[in-house]
Amino acid sequence: MTGILAGRVAIVTGAGRGLGREHALELARHGAKVVVNDLGTSGAGEGASSAPAEEVAAAIRAAGGQAVTNGADVADFAATEKMVAQAIEEFGGLDILVNNAGFVRDRMLVNTSEEEWDAVIRVHLKGHFAPLRHAAAYWRAEAKAGRQRAARVINTSSGAGLQGSVGQGTYTAAKAGIAGLTLVAAEELAPYGVTVNAIAPSARTRMTGGPFAAKMAVPTEGFDAMDPANVSPVVAWLASIEAGDVTGRVVEIEGGRICVEEGWRHGPADDLGARWAAAEVGPALRALLARAASPEPVYGARTPAPSAVNGARG
């Protein structure tokens, strides 16, 4: 296989199904050698099976590519260190890390258990940190040894993490954390030749049922905007050497639409030059809110009236 990723080595986490599966296949189509990581859990993060990862690796090999499987729990610090080592031992290095693994347990905040909170935060947020930490250590060592690689990290946030989603408070917090981690990692790893970006995909997977089921339905004709394969070409390009000048960005992808997200930015400000008195804060803050851009409604929200959004009184 030849293409924009020819000769490059990639790890894709959660690559047994859904988006991760399509990412692994797409990277391989463009010439990457792929470590197909998947624990083989259910959509709720339960159980384990090597079958999904093995099926994807077999499909890559059948098409003429190179792939091996890995069954590490992405939130297991020691296991992900071995996963990075596996890529290096099997294929001679590591150039691309696609952090994709995750699951969801939708619940309103007042019904969320501590176990549910911990499980979702663990697999998404720690499950991004652990592989990234070990890959980054390898890339830093390579750079210091004079063998700097054009390394690429593609993390997976979501619209929930950027705008919020009713009934997904835990998932939203984890995905927002991933977006923030992406910004910091992009800056810290730049000296070693590493770019770090994130995607916010909208696609039909095991995680997108419930209130989104109607939107995710397979169309009877025409373009299937929710096909997870629509997302993967963006991942492939971000993983390429050509994308070396793009870092610290979050790209939303839905069907044929790509959108560069603009996150928290400094907006209107008022500097008193002294400590504010509590009675002065209200008028000052309301004046600033009236000048500020209104936030986008949370997914699933009852859209508030403009006066409620910007804090102004009618």
Question: Do 88 and 193 sit in the same domain of this protein?
Answer: yes
In a domain, 267, yes or no: no
Total domains in the fold of the chain:
2
Average pLDDT over residues 160-171: 92
Question: Do 203 and 297 sit in the same domain of this protein?
Answer: no
Q: Annotated active-site positions, please?
A: 158, 171, 175
Domain that holds residue 304: 278-310
Question: Do 294 and 238 sit in the same domain of this protein?
Answer: no
pLDDT per position as a tens digit, 121-146: 999 999 999 999 999 999 999 999 99
Length of the chain: 314
In a domain, 76, yes or no: yes
Q: Is 123 left (phi over 0), alpha (psi -120 to 50) or beta?
A: alpha
In a domain, 213, yes or no: yes
> How far, in Å, CA of 127 to CA of 141, rounded?
22
What are the φ/ψ torsions at residue 303 (nearest 5 degrees)?
A: -55, 120
Question: Do 291 and 151 sit in the same domain of this protein?
Answer: no
Query: What pLDDT is stored for residue 207 in this prediction?
Result: 59
- Burial of 205 by CB count in 10 Å (0-12 exposed, 13-18 middle, 19+ buried)? buried
pLDDT per position as a tens digit, 27-38: 999 999 999 999
Instruction: For the full predicted model, state whether its pTM sits above 0.85.
Output: yes
Question: Do 233 and 138 sit in the same domain of this protein?
Answer: yes
In a domain, 83, yes or no: yes
Question: Do 42 and 188 sit in the same domain of this protein?
Answer: yes
Average pLDDT over residues 287-301: 93
Average pLDDT over residues 188-194: 98
Question: Do 156 and 214 sit in the same domain of this protein?
Answer: yes
> How far, in Å, CA of 137 to CA of 142, rounded?
9
As given in the structure block, the two tokens for residue 69 are 């499987």
Question: Do 157 and 70 sit in the same domain of this protein?
Answer: yes
